[in-house]
Amino acid sequence: MVTVMSLAEERVEAVKRRLDEVFSMLKELERRRDAILEEMSKLSAMEGCLEYKPVKNKVGRTYYYWYLRVYSGGVLKSIYLGKQVPEHILKDLADREKLRQLKRELNQVAERITKIYRALARIELILSTI
């Protein structure tokens, strides 16, 4: 009888340790989620894409210039940038890519958090029947 009780106590302690690990993991995921959201709020993403477009002059000579192509009011517009792309536009386009990566990571973190909460709910249901 003593061995059965000590075995049960060992299992309960093992479950408690595992639950502590799960809660620790959950807190870490929530911290990461908050960090991602904070980082996303600092980024300024620009819509559109860059295009290196050939332009012919009156003589027929071809020169190349950069344009920013954006939709405005449902119409595609080309905004002339010149022979070089301004730094602030490059930064905004890089921010847009970083924002996309952060959104993907945020979705993964949110899925893991949801899975943990579902698992905890199942554990709670199982423990309530004991």
| Structure confidence by residue, pLDDT tens digits, 64-122 | 999 999 998 889 999 999 999 999 888 988 899 999 999 999 999 999 999 988 888 88
82 closest CA partner among 55, 57, 46, 48 = 55
Write down the mean pLDDT value for the chain: 87
5 confidence band (pLDDT: 50, 70, 90): low
Instruction: Give the CA-trace dihedral at 40, 46, 50, 56, to 10 degrees.
Output: -170
Radius of gyration of the chain (CA): 28
* High-pLDDT (> 70) share of the chain, %: 95
Collapse the DSSP code of 66 into the 3-class scheme (helix H, G, I; strand E, B; otherwise coil) and give the result.
strand
Residues 58 and 48: their CA atoms lie apart, in Å, by 29
C-alpha–C-alpha distance, residues 21 and 120, integer Å:
12
- Average pLDDT of span 15-33: 88
Global pTM reads: 0.69
Please give the C-alpha separations between residue 44 and each of 40, 41, 84, 89, 95, in angstroms, as whole numbers: 9, 8, 21, 10, 6
